[in-house]
Amino acid sequence: MVQTRLSEYEAEAWEALRAGALGRALAIGVYILEHYPQALGAHLLVGEVLRCSGYVDRARDFLLRTLSADPEALPAYAGLSRLAAVGRDMEGANWHAERAFELAPWDPRGREWLRRMQARRDGLEHRRIYLTRAALARLWAASGSLWRARLELESLLCRVPQRL
């Protein structure tokens, strides 16, 4: 019997999703969750397939489950931002896009998406995206300047104590 690694099976499902084979991707994701109900990658995958298929509420549920287990799941924030944008909830779309941007402020795709969401929300084109304290802390940490990152995060928590 041939055994396939879970990561290989997930990769196959993501490839099916990129190719537009939503049914195949969903079938693989559901199969994985039947056997490994705590597989975060499968929750994210199923959420993305459902988002692409137009099942907004179910997609949101799977993406939020992913975030509840991994608050740094950037693709889940990006998916939630897209769901909110489709539903014309520009505040929600912007909020989730900003969280995704904070996780990877060096990613030009995230920066561009945030810029577009801010433009749609505000009704005017923004030339720049300014770093939030969390994004700046992420950049400081990535550069090895941990004390600066800590200062930014402490400042953020003083202003928004309930922030994760």
Give pLDDT tens digits for 17-57.
Answer: 999 888 999 999 999 999 888 889 999 999 999 999 889 99
For 8, 97, 100, 127, the CA distances from 109, given in Å and listed in that order, are 26, 11, 10, 15
N-to-C CA span, the chain: 45
> What mean pLDDT do residues 65-90 have?
92
What residue ranges in the chain does DSSP mark as E strands? Answer: none
- The pTM of the full predicted model, rounded to 2 decimals, is 0.85
Q: What is the pLDDT of residue 79?
A: 93
Q: Name the nearest CA neighbour of 40 among 16, 17, 6, 84.
A: 6
Q: What is the pLDDT of residue 1?
A: 47
Can you read off the two tokens belonging to residue 49?
A: 């397939």
